[in-house]
Amino acid sequence: SHNETVASYRQALRANAEHIQRFERRLNDELEGVTINDLAEIRVEIHCHPKFRNLVEESEAIDPYSGQLLSDAFYERLQGFVAEFFGETPGQGGHRLTMDRVITGISYRTRKQSETRLDAKGQSTSTSALISLELVQRLLRRILYPGVGLAFPMVLDELASVDVSQVPSLLERLGRQGFNLFAAATHSASPELIYQVGRHL
């Protein structure tokens, strides 16, 4: 009976982990065929808190219907996870496990047209911004009713540090996806950059 109770919690952990994996797969399906600058392929990876990930992996090896009780080590890790993620800390929503506590961030893996393997190294500021634009656009589509248009400011700090040759494609993509550019530069922007951006202060 005790092990069956633990099995129900184990299933809840697994269901949340599978939900995150499905969400990541759907995003990557939507990014199939998207090309940015010299990138031929873009993949998103969602990162989960190590304690959540380790607990899910360990729970996969458990047989909840065996005649043996679970190990003390597993209970210690489970108790540590519960104390950290379900504690009564003010402003954390009490006893609910929410995705903002489980998901710690995202990263991109990319492949250039001249390469055969995906690479995890970072891209330039402008290329990273374009990838993020693609991702944000797809996430926004999930919450908007059909036919509803929405425009957000896209804030780019240090615009002058972006390669000026990439600015036209950045502006074109921003306009197509309904963003308005809000940019700043602490150093002098070139006349070419100012001309491409247009109205400026």
Using pLDDT thresholds of 50, 70 and 90, give the confidence band for residue 104: very high
pTM over 0.75: no
For 3-28, what is the mean pLDDT?
A: 86
Structure tokens belonging to residue 27: 């995003």
For 53-80, what is the mean pLDDT?
A: 79
Structural contact between residues 178 and 150, judged by C-beta atoms closer than 8 angstroms: yes
pLDDT at 133: 81
* DSSP secondary structure string for all residues of 19-55: HHHHHHHHHHHHTTT--BTTEEEEEEEEEE-HHHHHH
- pLDDT, tens only, 109-149: 998 888 888 888 877 777 887 888 888 888 888 888 888 87
Structural contact between residues 167 and 154, judged by C-beta atoms closer than 8 angstroms: no
**pLDDT exceeds cutoff 70 at 52:** yes
Q: Percentage of residues in the chain with pLDDT exceeding 90?
A: 12
Structural contact between residues 111 and 40, judged by C-beta atoms closer than 8 angstroms: yes
User: When comparing pLDDT for 201 and 35, which is higher?
Assistant: 35
User: When comparing pLDDT for 185 and 49, which is higher?
Assistant: 49
Neighbours of 67 (CB within 10 A): 6
pLDDT at 92: 52
Binning the chain into helix, strand and coil, the percentages to the nearest 5 are: 50, 15, 35
Using pLDDT thresholds of 50, 70 and 90, give the confidence band for residue 46: very high
Sign of CA dihedral 30, 31, 32, 37: positive
Q: How far apart are CA 163 and CA 193, in angstroms?
A: 9
For 169-189, what is the mean pLDDT?
A: 79
**pLDDT exceeds cutoff 50 at 201:** no
Q: Percentage of residues in the chain with pLDDT exceeding 70?
A: 94
Highest mean pLDDT among 52-56, 89-93, 120-124 belongs to 52-56
pLDDT at 127: 80
Nearest to 40 by CA among 107, 108, 111: 111
**pLDDT exceeds cutoff 70 at 11:** yes
